[in-house]
Amino acid sequence: MSWDRVPVDLSGIRVLTQKDEFKGERVISYREAIREALSSALGRDTRVFIFGEGVDDPGGVFGTTLNLHKEFGQERVFDTPICENALTGIAIGASLAGLRPILVQMRTDFMLLSMDQLMNHAAKWKYMFGGKVSVPMVVRTIIGGGWGSAAQHSQPLQGLFTHIPGLKVVMPSTAYDAKGLLLSSIHNESPVVFVEHRWLYDHKDIVPPEPYFIPLGKGSLRREGKDLTLIADSFMVILAMAAARVLEKEGIDIELIDLRTIKPLDYDLILNSVKKTGRAVILDFGYKFCGISSEVSSFLMENAFEHLETSVLRVALPDVPTPASPILEKAYYSGEEQIITEVKRVLK
């Protein structure tokens, strides 16, 4: 394999922070937005390549890599054996050599097999070599239930990755954000774990056709309100918006923050919102124990204690393995009704 390693020309790519900066009406799905970002990155930068289990299958990783191997060739988009630890090591080596690999690990459970490479190598090399080397790689991975995959194939492990210094973790909730955040992740100089939720792939949004960046570490104020702040990530943002509409009919004015990047967190956005509303409920599609909701809750207690009128409450997954039964699975995952219940508890 050989690629041109001349740095890509990024002139002309806009850096956008809010959707309303684009006034068009082009609407595509979350899966299409990811594929478009990948196609754009492959087309603009010959250092970029995609590999992993199933990337050139007829399904193309839920449609996100569909036919990219035909468009850019199997040297740059290719399937791999089932060997997660070795694949992660290959991605690290390629990035150290000047390339920008995108490794697809279709379920976060599989990433447990490559944690040594991620934790002890990808996350540490820049620090150990005094900033003289970078590991600009992206690991795409998918969470989400509803497929009866049970305890070993349904784990939302994003909180585990945020615990590792040197890794960045991204969780977009909209098609617009998925494209802009993925492009930013690909051109970032740090290793990025890019977490997609399976239930979001069919959600649609206004998405510009041209490439654009959304800065990592910047959340989004999805809804302004005065009574309480909902702080959410990934699919929980969709549930939060639905809950906010229901609560609005009851005279409850909700402010909604979409974290977008969970490592680093946008602490300023969180703090300023809670200072205004005085109340917070944190929503995380991850485990409640030692998860993202724990970190945000601790931050608020340490930095906004004098502004809080009540305790901070959390909605997250219970500390038990995911059940396989569809009935138990439905009870296991948080829903709109639980969010509404917790909001009303805080407002009592």
Cβ neighbors of 197 (< 8 A, separation 6 or more) are 142, 143, 144, 171, 173, 234, 235, 285
- For residue 187, the SS3 value is coil
Does 163 share its domain with 245? no
Give the residue among 258, 296, 291, 115 at the shortest CA–CA distance from 191.
115
Does 165 share its domain with 272? no
Does 167 share its domain with 284? no
Does 170 share its domain with 316? no
The backbone torsions φ and ψ at residue 111, rounded to the nearest 5 degrees and listed phi first, read -70, -20
pLDDT tens-digit series, residues 163-220:
999 999 999 999 999 999 999 999 999 999 999 999 999 999 999 999 999 999 999 9
Q: What are the angstrom distances between the C-alpha of 172 and each of 75, 106, 159, 231? A: 29, 16, 15, 14
Give the residue among 322, 340, 345 at the shortest CA–CA distance from 244.
340
Query: What CA–CA distance (Å, rounded) separates 174 from 118?
Result: 27
Residues spanned by the domain of 307: 220-347
Query: What CA–CA distance (Å, rounded) separates 301 from 313?
Result: 11
Longest dimension (CA), the chain: 64
Structural domains counted in the chain: 2
Is residue 250 situated within a structural domain? yes
Is residue 147 situated within a structural domain? yes
Does 191 share its domain with 263? no
pTM of the predicted model, to two decimals?
A: 0.93
In the prediction, which pLDDT does 7 show?
Answer: 40
Does 229 share its domain with 207? no
Rounded to 5, what percent of the chain is helix, strand, coil?
40, 20, 40
In the prediction, which pLDDT does 145 show?
Answer: 78
Does 248 share its domain with 229? yes
Is residue 5 situated within a structural domain? no
Is residue 334 situated within a structural domain? yes
For residue 335, give the CATH number of its domain.
3.40.50.920
Alpha helices in 192-325 (DSSP H): 235-248, 267-277, 292-303
Q: Do the Cβ atoms of 277 and 227 come closer than 8 Å?
A: yes
Does 183 share its domain with 260? no
138, β-bridge pairs: 102, 192
Q: Do the strands 204-206 and 27-29 form a parallel or antiparallel pair, or are they unpaired?
A: antiparallel
Residue that terminates a domain, selected from 193, 213, 233: 213
Does 41 share its domain with 169? yes
Catalytic residue among 153, 187, 197, 307: 153
Give the pair of three-digit tokens for residue 60.
């193309």
Does 265 share its domain with 175? no
Is residue 282 situated within a structural domain? yes
Q: What are the angstrom distances between the C-alpha of 156 and each of 59, 248, 297, 348? A: 23, 30, 19, 32
For residue 121, give the CATH number of its domain.
3.40.50.970
The backbone torsions φ and ψ at residue 311, rounded to the nearest 5 degrees and listed phi first, read -65, 155
Query: What CA–CA distance (Å, rounded) separates 177 from 75?
Result: 28
Is residue 8 situated within a structural domain? no
Residue that terminates a domain, selected from 213, 243, 268: 213
Is residue 4 situated within a structural domain? no
Regions in the chain scoring below 70 on pLDDT: 1-24, 147
Is residue 135 situated within a structural domain? yes
At 258, which helix (H) or strand (E)?
strand 254-258
Q: Do the Cβ atoms of 277 and 228 come closer than 8 Å?
A: yes
The backbone torsions φ and ψ at residue 250, rounded to the nearest 5 degrees and listed phi first, read -100, 10
Does 63 share its domain with 198? yes
Quick one: angle between helices 235-248 and 336-347, nearest 10?
60
In the prediction, which pLDDT does 1 show?
Answer: 31
Residue that terminates a domain, selected from 213, 248, 264: 213
Query: Does residue 307 carry a catalytic annotation?
Result: no
In the prediction, which pLDDT does 280 show?
Answer: 98
% of the chain residues with pLDDT over 70: 93
- Give the DSSP letter string of 54-88: TTTSTTTTTTTTTTHHHHH-TTTEE---S-HHHHH
Cβ neighbors of 43 (< 8 A, separation 6 or more) are 72
First vs last Cα of the chain: how many Å apart? 63
Does 153 share its domain with 231? no
